[in-house]
Chains A and B, each alone.
Chain A
Amino acid sequence: MINMGASVVMRGIVKRFGHVVANDHVDFDLALGEIHGLLGENGSGKTTLMSILYGLYQPDAGEIRVHGAPVALRGPRDALERGIAMIPQQFRLVPTLTVAENIALGLDPRGRPHRHLLRDVERRLMALSEQYGLQIAPTAAVGRLSMGERQRVEILRALYHDSRVLLMDEPTSVLTPREVDRLLQMLAAMTKNERRSVVLVTHKILEVLGVADRVTVLRQGRRVATLGPGDLSADALVAAMMGQREPPAQASWSAASPRSARNQGRPILEFRAVCVSPAGGSDLASRPLHDVTFTVRSGEIFGIAGVEGNGQRELEFAAAGLLTPTAGTIALDGNGDSQGHSGRAAVAYIPSDRPRWGVALDLTVAENLLLRHAAGGDPWALAPTRRPQPLADADNAIATFGIHPPRRRALVRHLSGGNGQKVVVARELYRLPAVVVAAQPTAGLDVATSTFVRGQLRRVASAGAAVLLISSDLDELQGLCDRIGVIYQGRLMGIWDAQTVTRAALGAAMAGLASAGGDGNHAGESPIRGH
Chain B
Amino acid sequence: METTRANLLSEATELRPVRVHAVWRSTGGVRQAVRLAGMIVVPLGTGLLVGSLLMWALGISPLAAFRTMLETVVGSRSGFTDMLLYATPLLLIALGYGLAYRARVWTVGGEGQFHAAAIAVAALVFTLPPTTPRLPGLLLMLAAGSAAGMLWALLPGWLRVSRQVNEVVSTLMLNFVGILAMHWVIRTVFRDPFAGILQTPPFPRVFDLPRLAGTRLHIGLIMALALVPVLLYVMHYSTYGFRIKAIGTNPWASRAVGIRVDRTIIMVFLISGMLAGLAGAVHVLGAAHRLIGDLSPGFGYTAIMVALLARCHPLGAVPSALLLAGLAVGSEGIQVEFGIPTDFVQVFAAVLVLCILAGDTLIWKGRSPS
How many Å lie between the Cα of A22 and that of B16 in the bound state?
13
Within 8 A of A (CB), among B1-49: 4, 6-9, 11-12, 14-19, 22, 26
* A18 and B15 contact, CB distance less than 8 A: yes
* B18 and A417 contact, CB distance less than 8 A: no
Q: Least Cβ distance of A90 to chain B in Å?
A: 5
* B240 and A380 contact, CB distance less than 8 A: yes
Q: Least Cβ distance of A278 to chain B in Å?
A: 16
A341 partner residues in chain B, CB cutoff 8 A: 258, 260
Given contacts A51-B8, A360-B246, contact A374 B239 (CB under 8 A): yes
Given contacts A48-B11, A89-B7, A373-B242, contact A344 B256 (CB under 8 A): yes
Interface size on A, residues (CB 8 A): 56
- B296 located at the interface, meaning its Cβ lies under 8 Å from any Cβ of chain A in the complex: no
Q: Least Cβ distance of B311 to chain A in Å?
A: 14
Chain B residue, CB-CB nearest to A355 = B14
Q: Which of A382-390, A458-466, A496-504 participates in binding chain B?
A: A382-390
A367 partner residues in chain B, CB cutoff 8 A: 242, 245-246
Q: Least Cβ distance of B297 to chain A in Å?
A: 35
- A379 located at the interface, meaning its Cβ lies under 8 Å from any Cβ of chain B in the complex: yes
Q: Least Cβ distance of B21 to chain A in Å?
A: 9
B18 partner residues in chain A, CB cutoff 8 A: 18, 414, 416
Q: Least Cβ distance of B188 to chain A in Å?
A: 40
- A524 located at the interface, meaning its Cβ lies under 8 Å from any Cβ of chain B in the complex: no
B6 partner residues in chain A, CB cutoff 8 A: 90, 92
How many Å lie between the Cα of A360 and that of B242 in the bound state?
12
A373 partner residues in chain B, CB cutoff 8 A: 239, 242
Q: Least Cβ distance of B324 to chain A in Å?
A: 28
* A362 and B367 contact, CB distance less than 8 A: yes
Given contacts A88-B7, A372-B258, contact A381 B240 (CB under 8 A): yes
- A320 located at the interface, meaning its Cβ lies under 8 Å from any Cβ of chain B in the complex: yes
A349 partner residues in chain B, CB cutoff 8 A: 256-257
B12 partner residues in chain A, CB cutoff 8 A: 17, 57
Chain A residue, CB-CB nearest to B8 = A51
- A371 located at the interface, meaning its Cβ lies under 8 Å from any Cβ of chain B in the complex: yes
- A442 located at the interface, meaning its Cβ lies under 8 Å from any Cβ of chain B in the complex: no
- A134 located at the interface, meaning its Cβ lies under 8 Å from any Cβ of chain B in the complex: no
- A351 located at the interface, meaning its Cβ lies under 8 Å from any Cβ of chain B in the complex: yes
Given contacts A88-B7, A344-B256, A371-B257, contact A363 B245 (CB under 8 A): yes
* B8 and A356 contact, CB distance less than 8 A: no
- B214 located at the interface, meaning its Cβ lies under 8 Å from any Cβ of chain A in the complex: no
* A382 and B250 contact, CB distance less than 8 A: no
Encode contact with B along A380-416: 1 for CB under 8 Å, 0 otherwise.
1111111000000000000000000001001101101
- B255 located at the interface, meaning its Cβ lies under 8 Å from any Cβ of chain A in the complex: yes
Q: Least Cβ distance of A394 to chain B in Å?
A: 13
Encode contact with B along A310-347: 1 for CB under 8 Å, 0 otherwise.
00000000001110000000000000000001001100
- A279 located at the interface, meaning its Cβ lies under 8 Å from any Cβ of chain B in the complex: no
- B346 located at the interface, meaning its Cβ lies under 8 Å from any Cβ of chain A in the complex: no
- A209 located at the interface, meaning its Cβ lies under 8 Å from any Cβ of chain B in the complex: no
- A508 located at the interface, meaning its Cβ lies under 8 Å from any Cβ of chain B in the complex: no
Chain A residue, CB-CB nearest to B256 = A357
Q: B-side binding surface: helix, strand, loop or mixed?
A: helix
* A371 and B246 contact, CB distance less than 8 A: yes
Given contacts A358-B256, A362-B367, contact A382 B238 (CB under 8 A): yes
Chain A residue, CB-CB nearest to B4 = A90
How many Å lie between the Cα of A383 and that of B119 in the bound state?
35
- B237 located at the interface, meaning its Cβ lies under 8 Å from any Cβ of chain A in the complex: yes
How many Å lie between the Cα of A362 and that of B12 in the bound state?
18
- Could you say which of A89, A374, A411, A416 has the most chain B C-beta atoms within 10 Å of its C-beta? A374
Chain B residue, CB-CB nearest to A376 = B239
Q: Least Cβ distance of A272 to chain B in Å?
A: 23
B234 partner residues in chain A, CB cutoff 8 A: 382
Chain A residue, CB-CB nearest to B16 = A18
Q: Least Cβ distance of B313 to chain A in Å?
A: 16
* B249 and A17 contact, CB distance less than 8 A: no
* A413 and B246 contact, CB distance less than 8 A: no
Given contacts A362-B249, A382-B238, A385-B238, contact A351 B7 (CB under 8 A): no
Encode contact with A along B341-364: 1 for CB under 8 Å, 0 otherwise.
000000000000000000000000
How many Å lie between the Cα of A391 and that of B17 in the bound state?
28
- A47 located at the interface, meaning its Cβ lies under 8 Å from any Cβ of chain B in the complex: yes
* A374 and B257 contact, CB distance less than 8 A: yes
Within 8 A of B (CB), among A187-214: none
A17 partner residues in chain B, CB cutoff 8 A: 11-12, 14-16
- A359 located at the interface, meaning its Cβ lies under 8 Å from any Cβ of chain B in the complex: yes
Interface size on B, residues (CB 8 A): 41
Q: Least Cβ distance of B111 to chain A in Å?
A: 28
* A381 and B239 contact, CB distance less than 8 A: yes
A57 partner residues in chain B, CB cutoff 8 A: 12
How many Å lie between the Cα of A143 and that of B139 in the bound state?
56
- B254 located at the interface, meaning its Cβ lies under 8 Å from any Cβ of chain A in the complex: yes
- B319 located at the interface, meaning its Cβ lies under 8 Å from any Cβ of chain A in the complex: no
- B137 located at the interface, meaning its Cβ lies under 8 Å from any Cβ of chain A in the complex: no
* A414 and B19 contact, CB distance less than 8 A: yes
A127 partner residues in chain B, CB cutoff 8 A: none
Q: Least Cβ distance of B366 to chain A in Å?
A: 6
- A2 located at the interface, meaning its Cβ lies under 8 Å from any Cβ of chain B in the complex: no
B253 partner residues in chain A, CB cutoff 8 A: 356-360, 371
- B134 located at the interface, meaning its Cβ lies under 8 Å from any Cβ of chain A in the complex: no
- Could you say which of A48, A322, A376, A381 has the most chain B C-beta atoms within 10 Å of its C-beta? A381
- A529 located at the interface, meaning its Cβ lies under 8 Å from any Cβ of chain B in the complex: no
A321 partner residues in chain B, CB cutoff 8 A: 258
Chain A residue, CB-CB nearest to B263 = A379
* A374 and B237 contact, CB distance less than 8 A: no
How many Å lie between the Cα of A349 and that of B15 in the bound state?
22
Q: Least Cβ distance of B361 to chain A in Å?
A: 13
- A115 located at the interface, meaning its Cβ lies under 8 Å from any Cβ of chain B in the complex: no
- B126 located at the interface, meaning its Cβ lies under 8 Å from any Cβ of chain A in the complex: no
- A232 located at the interface, meaning its Cβ lies under 8 Å from any Cβ of chain B in the complex: no
- B340 located at the interface, meaning its Cβ lies under 8 Å from any Cβ of chain A in the complex: no
How many Å lie between the Cα of A374 and that of B263 in the bound state?
13
B263 partner residues in chain A, CB cutoff 8 A: 379
* B11 and A22 contact, CB distance less than 8 A: yes
- B243 located at the interface, meaning its Cβ lies under 8 Å from any Cβ of chain A in the complex: yes
How many Å lie between the Cα of A372 and that of B12 in the bound state?
29
- B143 located at the interface, meaning its Cβ lies under 8 Å from any Cβ of chain A in the complex: no
Encode contact with A along B226-254: 1 for CB under 8 Å, 0 otherwise.
00000001100111111101100110111
How many Å lie between the Cα of A344 and that of B246 in the bound state?
16
How many Å lie between the Cα of A322 and that of B258 in the bound state?
9
Chain A residue, CB-CB nearest to B243 = A374
What are 28 A-B residue pairs whose CB atoms fall within 8 Å in the complex? A17-B12, A18-B16, A18-B17, A18-B18, A22-B11, A47-B7, A47-B11, A56-B9, A88-B7, A88-B8, A321-B258, A322-B256, A349-B257, A357-B256, A360-B249, A362-B250, A362-B366, A370-B242, A371-B257, A374-B246, A375-B259, A375-B260, A379-B263, A382-B234, A382-B239, A383-B239, A384-B239, A414-B18
- Chain B positions within 8 Å of A, measured between CB atoms, are 4, 6-9, 11-12, 14-19, 22, 26, 233-234, 237-243, 245-246, 249-250, 252-260, 263, 267, 366-367
Question: Beyond the given A22-B11, A359-B253, A372-B257, could you list 11 further A-B residue pairs with CB under 8 A, ordered by the A residue number?
Answer: A17-B12, A18-B16, A92-B6, A344-B258, A357-B255, A360-B249, A361-B366, A374-B246, A384-B233, A416-B15, A417-B14
